[in-house]
Amino acid sequence: MCGIVGAAARRDIVPVLIEGLRRLEYRGYDSCGVAALREGTLARVRSVARVADLAGQVTSQALAAETGIAHTRWATHGAPLTRNAHPMFSRDEIALVHNGIIENYEELRAELKAQGYAFESQTDTEVIAHLVHSLYAGDLF
């Protein structure tokens, strides 16, 4: 099981995302992360430590934004490593978190690699991020 938090406002929502993750800690997790969109640029912080450690990283990197998503993860595909923690990015244009299992992710991964997509994680979720990007390439905004 995982936890997903999202927020959009006319103020910095990163503290809201971190608080949302704190409130989900009771469910258990092996990694956590935050992605935020500020002035058209995506930024991400991920950790295999506790949410408190993630909050410290967010503070040290001065992550702030008006739109963002956050996630706590129990590994199903891929070991509990930072590179496997959500949110997943595709070419710094798509940020995605996901709860569930993509049964045909290996087939999709092979197809996306053939299209030139590079994978940094071992997860099935990264496939979704790249698939969305491939379907909306040139027409995101």
In a domain, 141, yes or no: no
> Which pLDDT score is estimated for 1?
67
Q: Residue 80: which of 42, 118, 117, 50 has the closest Cα?
A: 50
Q: What is the residue range of 51's domain?
A: 3-135
First-to-final CA distance of the chain = 32
Domain assignment present for 37: yes
Backbone Cα Rg of the chain: 15
In a domain, 140, yes or no: no
Task: Determine, yes or no, domain membership for 28.
Answer: yes
**Domain count for the chain:** 1
The Cα 23–Cα 27 span in angstroms is 9
Tens digit of pLDDT at every position of the chain (141 positions): 689 999 999 999 999 999 999 999 999 999 999 999 999 999 999 999 999 999 999 999 999 999 999 999 998 888 999 999 999 999 999 999 999 999 999 999 999 999 999 999 999 999 999 999 999 877 765
Angle at 132 between CA 66 and CA 86, to 5 degrees: 55
> For the domain that residue 48 is a member of, what is the CATH number?
3.60.20.10
What does each C-alpha distance from 24 to 4, 17, 53, 64, 122 come to in angstroms?
9, 11, 15, 21, 24
Position 106 in a domain: yes
User: Is residue 18 in a domain?
Assistant: yes
